[in-house]
Each structure stands twice: as structure tokens, then as C-alpha cells.
Amino acid sequence: MIYYKWVESPIGALLLTANGRSLTGLHMQGQKYFPVQTQDWQEVELDLFVQVQVQLTEYFAHKRQQFDLPLEPQGTDFQKQVWQLLTEIPFGETIAYGTLAKMTGNPTASRAVGSANGRNPISIVIPCHRVIASSGRLTGYAGGVDRKQWLLQHECSKIEPIQQALRLG
């Protein structure tokens, strides 16, 4: 059974999914790799969804920089490794795909890292928007580059101008 709920946010409607104990998805309406709803989906109000909504509201109000939620993203071992590393990128900072590849122990895996990053099923909470091209360009984001830019500017507006925040690791 997959439980779900739609919530509103400053970047549009977000679809939350859970397995009853952990968040399994946070998807932006219209994003690439949006999940297909099947008969085993049930719209419910879980305490977990209330927690997620509270923490997202705090994040968007500049009152939260890290999320504290039970997560169970589904993917390959490599994808899960990349997603775990994404949670270590500090709020308001960015790193390059190549840097993230080095962190996996495979410095030549930039494309694989980019693919795993794009398939992140728990956007915002697992901050895939903080990964950028080595040139500093905002490339590739399943939710759209405009949302990626919005999220980075949102985070940087609390810390410093985005031009200074686009530091490459």
C-alpha cells in the first residue's frame, strides 16, 4: 500500500508518498519521473504527512535548514548512496556533480551521479537541487531548472547572495 497526500508550497503542489512508517516520495507536480498512481495508492492523512508539512512550512519560512523525518527512498544501492551524500550538502551551499562523484569513491561517475540525482524521489528533503555543473550553471533538475533556481535563491537569501553561495566543493 502506498499512502499519499497533496500539499501546496511556494513552488507549486507537492505529492507526498509514504509506506506508513517513512516518507518514500516528495514529488513536484509536472516533474520528470513523476510516479504513476496505481490501485494500491490510498489518499490518507498520516501523522507523518503532518510532520512533513510542518517541516516544509518551516523550511519555506526560513525557520528550518535540515529535515528530521524518517525516509525510505527506493532505488539501487548506488542511487541510495548518492541520495545519502546529498543530505550532507549544507543548507545554502552547492557542489558540482564531479565532486559528488568523488564522494561516491568513483571520480569518473559524474554522469551516473547526475542520473541518480535526477531520480531522487524525495526532492527538497534530500536536497538534489544543491548539485550544479562545474561551470556554476544550474543544469538538470527533475522539477525544472526554474524551481532549482528558486530553491537555491531561497536558501541563499537567508545566508548570502546566490553568486557567492555557488561555491564548488
For 19-36, the pLDDT digits (tens) are 999 999 999 998 888 888
Is there a contact between 138 and 132 (Cβ–Cβ < 8 Å)? yes
- Determine whether domain 77-165 maps to CATH 1.20.120.420: no
| Residue-wise pLDDT tens digits, 104-157 | 999 999 999 999 999 999 999 999 999 988 877 787 788 888 999 999 999 987
Show contacts of 103-110: CB within 8 Å, 24+ apart. 104/78
| Residue-wise pLDDT tens digits, 84-109 | 999 999 999 999 999 999 999 999 99
CA nearest neighbour of 9 among 60, 50, 46: 60
pLDDT at 55: 98
Catalogue the active-site residues. 128
Q: For all residues of the chain together, what is the average pLDDT?
A: 90
Give domain limits for the chain: 2-60, 77-165
